[in-house]
Amino acid sequence: MSSAGGPVVELAGGVGGARLGRGLQSLVGSDLTIVVNTGDDLERHGLLVCPDHDTVLYTLAGIEGPFGWGIAGDTSASMNQLEVYGEESWFGLGDRDLATHIVRTARIRAGASLTEANLGLQRSLGLSATILPMTDEPVTTEIRTSEGWLEFQEYFVRRHQGPTVLEVRWRGIETASPTDRVRAALAAAKVLVIAPSNPIVSIGPILAVPGLREAIERARSAGTPIVAVSGIIAGRALKGPADRMLASLGHEPSALGVARLYAGLATGFVLDPADAHLAPQIEQLGLRTLVVDTIMVDEPSRARVAAEVLNFARKLTRA
């Protein structure tokens, strides 16, 4: 089943990307592949935790928690006991969520790749879509603040996104590469969607993987429409620190600022009616625009936004 006329690839990280992914999955099913950021991955209590992958995993499985991450109704007995043993508990893991990390880590230690281990989790939860890590090699997003360099989750969770972001880098990115499955998905895509995720620390690491941007550019040259969706509405991020991060790094914290980051790569740009006045400036960047309500609060709105994106992509294909 595909209302896009063939395979769809979404680049995603975090809650916004997961919600759009859920909508896309409802429309195109197994024709959807989501390439997720792995720069947020970290080790906690001896286990590999993949926050962006698992946010997408749980959302596509329909079991995500009320804030868009974790598992709905999860308990925290294990974290409470870890505190008794003197372990740090600033990065909370629910009891059912913990099972995900135990299984993933065990399978990787037994010789599976990150891709293989995560695909196994997806099959167990009955996903029709496929979620692929941007690379199987370890990559770590690091944030420079006035307090020095912090790993992403130290900044995002432990410091509650408080310090001002002065610079972003990705440790290990030079030796990383897209997997064969990611390359094949990009080559086969009839539509490529850049999710309304943080353009700096969610989409940025994906595009920084050597060879991945070039694969997207080849798809664009072959006529594949590339539609980016703004995660900034009326100058504010719906989730996370993207607006503050854009500003502190010298970018305009607006839909126009996001469009500037994707100009030359995307062919279309979706923005909320609150930012309709920015459409002419965005079109001057060489991007076709679609102004539509992009807030996704439930299943119908996720499907609606996904359908708007796919219909827009069809129009770009015919243009």
pLDDT in tens, 205-244: 999 999 999 999 999 999 999 999 999 999 999 888 899 9
At residue 147, the pLDDT reads: 86
CB burial string 9-31: b at 16+ within 10 A, e below: bbbbbbbbbbbbbbbbbbbbeeb
At residue 4, the pLDDT reads: 53
pTM score, two decimals? 0.95
Q: Is 250 part of a structural domain of the chain?
A: yes
Q: Is 76 part of a structural domain of the chain?
A: no
Q: Is 107 part of a structural domain of the chain?
A: no
* Residue 318, number of CB atoms within 10 A of its CB: 6
Confidence of residue 1 (pLDDT cuts 50, 70, 90): very low
At residue 141, the pLDDT reads: 97
At residue 35, the pLDDT reads: 98
At residue 30, the pLDDT reads: 97
At residue 102, the pLDDT reads: 98
CA-atom Rg of the chain in angstroms: 19
Q: Is 161 part of a structural domain of the chain?
A: no
Q: Is 150 part of a structural domain of the chain?
A: no
Q: Percentage of residues in the chain with pLDDT exceeding 90?
A: 94
At residue 305, the pLDDT reads: 97
Comparison of pLDDT for 147 and 71, the residue scoring more: 71
At residue 318, the pLDDT reads: 73
For residue 222, the domain's CATH number is: 3.40.50.10680
Give whole-number Cα distances, 244 to 116, 236, 238, 240, in Å.
36, 8, 12, 9
Q: Is 282 part of a structural domain of the chain?
A: yes
Tokens of 231: 């995660």
Q: Which domain holds residue 213?
A: 8-41+128-139+173-318
Confidence of residue 319 (pLDDT cuts 50, 70, 90): low
Give whole-number Cα distances, 98 to 64, 203, 231, 258, 283, in Å.
14, 26, 29, 35, 46
How many domains is the chain built from? 1
CB 253 within 8 A of CB 260: no
* Residue 212, number of CB atoms within 10 A of its CB: 22
Q: What is the pLDDT of residues 274-285, one digit of tens each?
A: 999 999 999 999
Confidence of residue 2 (pLDDT cuts 50, 70, 90): very low
Q: How far apart are CA 34 and CA 176, in angstroms?
A: 18
Q: Is 36 part of a structural domain of the chain?
A: yes
Q: Is 58 part of a structural domain of the chain?
A: no
At residue 5, the pLDDT reads: 79
Q: What is the pLDDT of residues 37-53, one digit of tens each?
A: 999 999 999 999 999 99
Comparison of pLDDT for 5 and 263, the residue scoring more: 263
